[in-house]
Amino acid sequence: MALFSRKKTPPASPPNPFVRTPEQEAARREREAAEAAAAEAARVVYEPRKGGRPTVEHPRTKRISLSLSEQEHEALVAAAGGRRVSVWARERLLESLATDPAPGAGVEVARLRADLGRVGSNLNQLVRAVNSGQTVPSAELLEALQATREELARVRGELP
């Protein structure tokens, strides 16, 4: 009886190709994400060319005008040696600013001017006294004049 039993088991149905299990769906999403990442990494991105004039980091926007005679202009053109005169002149001007005297030189000149002013004041007082009729001993006058000469010589030697 077992051979011809009425109870039949239904045959296994083939899987439906349009229905996926959650595991299959998760695997498919992972595979697609990996493929998209690989495609993005392999893609070559070209930056678009900038149009128009190139930009300058420190643009020169200020102008200085200069009037020259024909001879002065020719001299500058010759000195520039085939380069643009404006570029050559800017470089020379900036070089001269960079080679200014040491920062302490202004203080030294001010000190020398003050010394010279004091010497001139003393000399002026002596001359006024002589012109007003006061008698100044000759030895004192000669000593003051000698000191003035020495001071002037020292100042002239110290000036650049």
List the chain pLDDT tens, one digit each, 160 residues: 556 666 677 777 777 777 778 888 899 999 999 999 988 888 877 777 778 887 888 888 888 888 999 999 999 999 999 999 988 999 988 888 877 666 666 777 788 788 888 878 877 887 788 788 877 667 877 787 788 788 778 877 776 5
Task: Compute the distance between CA of residue 122 and CA of residue 54 in angstroms, rounded to an integer.
Answer: 66
Would 141 be classed as within a structural domain?
yes
Q: Are 126 and 136 in contact (CB under 8 A)?
A: yes
Both 122 and 146 in a single domain? Answer: yes
71 & 110 share domain: no
Residues 94 and 109 in one domain: no
Structural domain total, the chain: 2
pLDDT value of position 55: 81
How many C-beta neighbours within 10 Å does residue 145 have? 12
Residues 94 and 110 in one domain: no
How far is it, in rounded angstroms, from Cα 57 to Cα 111? 43
What lies within 8 Å, CB to CB, of 79 at 6+ separation is 88
- Residue-range definition of the domain harbouring residue 95: 66-100
Give the separation between CA 91 and CA 104, rounded to whole angstroms. 25
Domain boundary (81, 100, 119) is at 100
Residue 24 falls within a domain, yes or no?
no
Q: Is residue 94 part of a domain?
A: yes
pLDDT confidence of residue 3: 63
Asked if residue 126 belongs to a domain, the reply is: yes
